[in-house]
Structure 1
């Protein structure tokens, strides 16, 4: 997977892909980052995580999780 952020200077974008992509179906998605960032929220350029520690604690800090990970 390749992921990058660009700021186009005109309406054309040239996309180069690795040789291993040639002959394979590739999905290209374009959207503006500002469309997905709430006003007043610091931009997370990767946009993959907004979960807080307290939210994760509810799922991860349980007896079931401790038992599942005890042998690792």
Structure 2
């Protein structure tokens, strides 16, 4: 997978693909970062999918949580 950010200075964008991509179907998606982020905020106000596993583990992986959930 290739991912890049750019700020185009006109309506034309050109990309170079690595050799292994030649002859294969690729998907190219263009969207503005601000618009996509704003759309996510509107759809999911909690934005829990942005929380990292490491951050969640800090709160959830402890003996107090284990005791709270042991009967479920």
TM-score grouping bracket, smaller chain normalisation: 0.5 to 0.7
Other-structure match for 1:14: 14
Greater C-alpha radius of gyration: 2
| Aligned-residue CA RMSD (Å) | 2.7
TM-score, structure 2 normalization: 0.57
Question: Which consecutive aligned stretches of 4+ in structure 1 deviate over 4 angstroms post-superposition?
Answer: none
TM-score normalised to structure 1 length? 0.57
- In the alignment, structure 1 segments of 5+ residues that lack a partner are 39-48, 64-72
TM-superposition CA deviations, 1:24-51 (whole Å, max 9, x none):
000101000011234xxxxxxxxxx621
- Consecutive unaligned residues in structure 2, runs of 5 or more: 39-48, 64-72
Structure with more helix by fraction: 2
- What are the within-5 Å matches in structure 2 for residues 1-72 of structure 1? 1-38=1-38, 50-51=50-51, 53=55, 56-57=56-57, 61=61
Give the C-alpha shift of residue 62 in structure 1.
6.9
